[in-house]
A and B are shown apart, each in its own frame.
Chain A
Amino acid sequence: MTYADWFREDRLPHIYCVGCGNGTVINCTLSAVDQMGWEKEETVFVSGIGCSSRAPGYIVTDSLHTTHGRAIAFATGIKMANPDLRVIVFTGDGDLAAIGGNHFIHACRRNIDLTVVCMNNMIYGMTGGQGSPTTPPGALSTTTPYGSGEAAFDLCGLAAAAGANYVARYTSYHVKELTRAVRGGLENPGFSFIEALVQCPTNYGRRNKFRQVMDQIEYFKSHALLVQKADRMREEGKKIPDDMIIIGILARRNRPALGVRK
């Protein structure tokens, strides 16, 4: 069996724009699920509202397309009702960080046995490119036409501080590493949070000097810094440039998890 068996062939091609990274993240997640050897009947995909949240509609398993920001709340309900189900949440940055922020931190605090894959495109892509909490400082969007003046949200730092068992960040360029990170999250009991930075050529890239799809992927490639190297640079007293994206497995611990059968 390959990851392609998990797609609903009749629904493809999907509605994502040309070069959207969400499709890549779906590939990586399904590949990791496939490597785990799970049955389609015991896996549930949950999502909220947004570009990323259309993903479960292309997957053959049971899925829930829920209200904006409440994907984790619905997933908690599924997990508590039937702890035998494997629950995976697809969510976007506007869904998770903006409107569902409290659900997110409390799911981390409770340490429910979920795997949350956040496709962070740094903008509200579906509604026309408004600035989101993760829009980097200085980036242009329709609501920040002179450049975003606010600091961006560090979702991985938030999850690790709130008590998630497994926190990782990769980009849509690092497909093999992302697959491995999602697999680690699926294996790990407790709340696993994987942030995948994705390119949004339609609404983010064209306003921020990434005219081609490849430009933003090249940016991810050149600005990614592995967490071990970042730690080493800090020890040596070197300064890490502000625009670097720290990737890798950022937290892995063994707090008692909720929703796991004893």
Chain B
Amino acid sequence: MRLVIDERRCKGCNLCTLVCPYRIFRPGTTANRRGVIVPELDRPERCANCRLQRLYGRTLCGVCQMICPDQAISWEEEGACEPVKVAIEY
């Protein structure tokens, strides 16, 4: 699973930067076409929900998705990819 921010819905309130335990969301720097400064994702593969949602069969943390007032954060299915080594911070 892959963490994505829907740029058509995000209004740039940066609430997600406050709640993520891994600090994956960072305040953005450049405005998009609509003039909204969408947060940037800092190594989104660290997200617990991305890694373990399939294994546990439920949404694990999901606080960013719940607190997002604009319903812009979601997880989408990924296609086949080659395995990469990921450093996990505790």
Which residues of A are in contact with B by a Cβ distance under 8 Å?
2, 4, 7, 12-14, 16, 18-24, 27-28, 31, 172-173, 175-176, 179, 201, 212-214, 217-218
Contact = CB atoms under 8 A, between A and B. Distances in A.
B11 interface: yes
A31 B8 CA distance: 22
Given A19-B13, A217-B15, A4 B74 contact: yes
Given A21-B69, A27-B69, A173-B67, 6 more contacts: A20-B69, A24-B15, A172-B67, A173-B19, A176-B63, A179-B66
Contact of A23 (B14, B69, B74): B69
A92 to B, nearest CB: 15
Q: By DSSP majority rule, is chain B's interface helix, strand, loop, or mixed?
A: loop
Interface residues on B, range: 20 to 34
Contact of B9 (A13, A31, A173): A13
Contact of A175 (B17, B66, B71, B72): B66
B15 A27 contact: no
A197 B15 CA distance: 16
Nearest to B8: A13
B11 A13 contact: yes
A196 to B, nearest CB: 12
B13 to A, nearest CB: 3
30 contacts: A2-B59, A7-B71, A12-B9, A12-B71, A13-B8, A13-B9, A14-B70, A16-B69, A18-B12, A19-B14, A19-B15, A21-B69, A24-B15, A24-B67, A24-B68, A27-B65, A27-B68, A172-B67, A173-B67, A175-B66, A176-B63, A176-B66, A179-B66, A201-B13, A212-B14, A214-B15, A214-B17, A214-B18, A217-B18, A218-B18
Interface in B42-90: 59, 63, 65-72, 74
B66 A213 contact: no
Nearest to A178: B66
Contacts of B11: 13, 18-19
Nearest to A2: B59
B66 A27 contact: yes
A23 B63 CA distance: 14
Nearest to A9: B71
B13 A175 contact: no
Contacts of B65: 27
A237 B31 CA distance: 53
Contacts of A18: 11-13
A1 to B, nearest CB: 12
Most interface-central of B19, B63, B66 (chain A CB within 10 A): B66
